Amino acid sequence: MITSVTTHSPAETASFAESMATALEPPATVALYGDLGSGKTCFVKGLVRGLGSEDLVTSPTFTLVHHYSGPAGRIRHFDLYRIRLASELDDLEIGAVPDDIVVVEWPELMEQRLPDNVIRIRFELIAEKMDERKITVEFKDA
Ligand SMILES: Nc1ncnc2c1ncn2[C@@H]1O[C@H](COP(=O)(O)OP(=O)(O)O)[C@@H](O)[C@H]1O
Ligand SMILES: [Mg+2]
């Protein structure tokens, strides 16, 4: 199933993500596609809040992964922007813990490793409209 929304502010993107969190039950993997500045990390902030965690969400661009904890379990937030070789993914153990919720920015390099039930979310900037983002959610129907 594919569905899309257009948001008009970072707050709107975060609250859209927050509302999506209720549908997420571990084990779940969410793959976030889109250019720099398209709103992926902003989305993760809302998602983590929606999962009931008050942990501070920041971009793991340099650290590759951040962990947050919420009532539903651990959330692992990856950013693979700086990864060049698929073999580097082995060390990250992305699919290692089945009970985790895994969120991945720049997932292109691990396309082959994404689970069957992955939720793909694409972020697009809209020309001339600074604060608008088109967000397309794609997942397999149960
Ligand atoms: N509708 C919107 N949704 C999300 N972010 C937006 C929106 N409009 C403007 N922005 C800005 O775009 C940037 C998105 O940054 P970020 O979430 O870190 O992107 P990414 O993780 O995709 O690189 C932020 O500076 C945010 O303030
Ligand atoms: Mg980011």
- Model confidence pLDDT, tens digit, residues 17-33: 999 999 898 889 999 99
Question: Which residue among 6, 38, 41, 42 has the greatest number of ligand 1 atoms within 8 angstroms of its CB, and so is best to mutate?
Answer: 42
The Cβ of residue 66 has, within 10 Å, a number of other Cβ atoms equal to: 19
Ligand nearest to the CA of 38: 1
The domain that contains 97 carries what CATH number?
Answer: 3.40.50.300
Predicted pLDDT at 99: 82
The mean of the pLDDT values for the chain is 94
Give the structural domain span for 112: 2-138
The Cβ of residue 91 has, within 10 Å, a number of other Cβ atoms equal to: 9
Mean pLDDT of 64-88: 94
Predicted pLDDT at 72: 81
Q: What is the pLDDT of residues 83-109, one digit of tens each?
A: 999 999 998 988 878 889 999 999 999
User: Rounded to the nearest 10 degrees, how much is the dihedral formed by the CA atoms of 41, 6, 52, 66?
Assistant: -10
CA 111 – CA 109 distance, rounded (Å): 6
Contact 119, 30 (CB under 8 A): yes
Number of domains in the chain: 1
Predicted pLDDT at 42: 98
Atom of ligand 1 nearest to the CA of 43: 17
Ligand 1 contact, 57 CB (< 6 A): no
CA 88 – CA 17 distance, rounded (Å): 29
